[in-house]
């Protein structure tokens, strides 16, 4: 990578960890985003905030993973694909950060830890070759889809703003996963998939509170 590319990636990583993210698309259903308009009780507001904090952490991790995979591949086509996905994930990062503020809450205090761990995992996957890296991307997106499905079930019915954000995120993740599979991603062995699910559970249970 050229020096200016390293600077760009460093800037993106710093923004991911500090919550200063740029969005290319507007927030879904932004005009109906106030807590008061949704009529959320204090308990519902706290639950929505916990779920959206988990989603925000997932997007911090997504930035790190795509950065690592983009750095690792030599294919210009894959670099472009990872960059496109990362830009859409940055929309998600900005949306969830904004929603957390509207819910009078905050991102995870452990974001630097989540980011560093995801970056390391992405670099390992990238070192194993493009097929493995793409397979890791596809499996990650499949697991994220299931995770977002569960959040759509758990979010208060009145929280239309959070639900709209999560629904759009789910649609984008499905597209990313399909693109990775079609680009040649391999099916990961069961032990790897199981380990990914375990790590995801640890992250989500911790990020809900911290």
**pTM of the entire predicted model:** 0.88
Mind listing the pLDDT tens digit for each residue in 64-95?
998 888 888 999 999 999 989 989 999 999 99
DSSP for 112-164 reads HHHHHHHHHHHHHHHHT-HHHHHHHHHHHHHHHHHHHHHHHHHS-TT-HHHHH
Lowest mean pLDDT among 17-26, 98-107, 146-155, 185-194: 17-26
The full set of domains in the chain, from first to last, is 40-207 (1.20.1260.10)
Indicate the pLDDT class of residue 39, thresholds 50, 70 and 90: confident
For the chain, what percent of residues have pLDDT higher than 90?
68
Confirm if 1 and 71 have CB atoms less than 8 A apart.
yes
Backbone angles phi, psi at 126, to 5 degrees: -65, -35
pLDDT at 13 exceeding the cut of 70: no
pLDDT at 36 exceeding the cut of 60: no
- Residue 69 vs residue 31, higher pLDDT: 69
């Amino acid at each position: 990578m050229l020096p200016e590319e390293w600077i760009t990636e460093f800037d993106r990583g710093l923004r991911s960890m500090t919550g200063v993210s740029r969005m290319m698309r507007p927030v879904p259903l932004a005009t109906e985003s106030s807590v008061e308009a949704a009529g959320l009780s204090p308990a519902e507001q706290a639950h929505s905030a916990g779920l959206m904090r988990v989603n925000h952490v997932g997007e911090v991790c997504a930035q790190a993973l795509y950065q690592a995979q983009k750095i690792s591949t030599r294919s210009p086509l894959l670099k472009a694909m990872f960059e496109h996905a990362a830009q859409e994930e940055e929309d998600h990062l900005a949306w969830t950060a904004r929603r957390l503020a509207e819910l009078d809450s905050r991102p995870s205090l452990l974001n630097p830890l989540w980011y560093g761990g995801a970056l390391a995992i992405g670099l390992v996957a990238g070192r194993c070759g493009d097929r493995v890296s793409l397979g890791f991307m596809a499996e990650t997106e499949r697991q994220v889809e299931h995770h977002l499905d569960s959040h759509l079930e758990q979010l208060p019915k009145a929280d239309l703003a959070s639900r709209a954000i999560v629904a759009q995120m789910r649609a984008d993740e499905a597209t990313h996963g399909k693109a990775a599979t079609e680009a040649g991603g391999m099916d990961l062995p069961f032990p790897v998939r199981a380990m990914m699910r375990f790590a995801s559970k640890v992250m989500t249970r911790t990020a809900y509170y911290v």
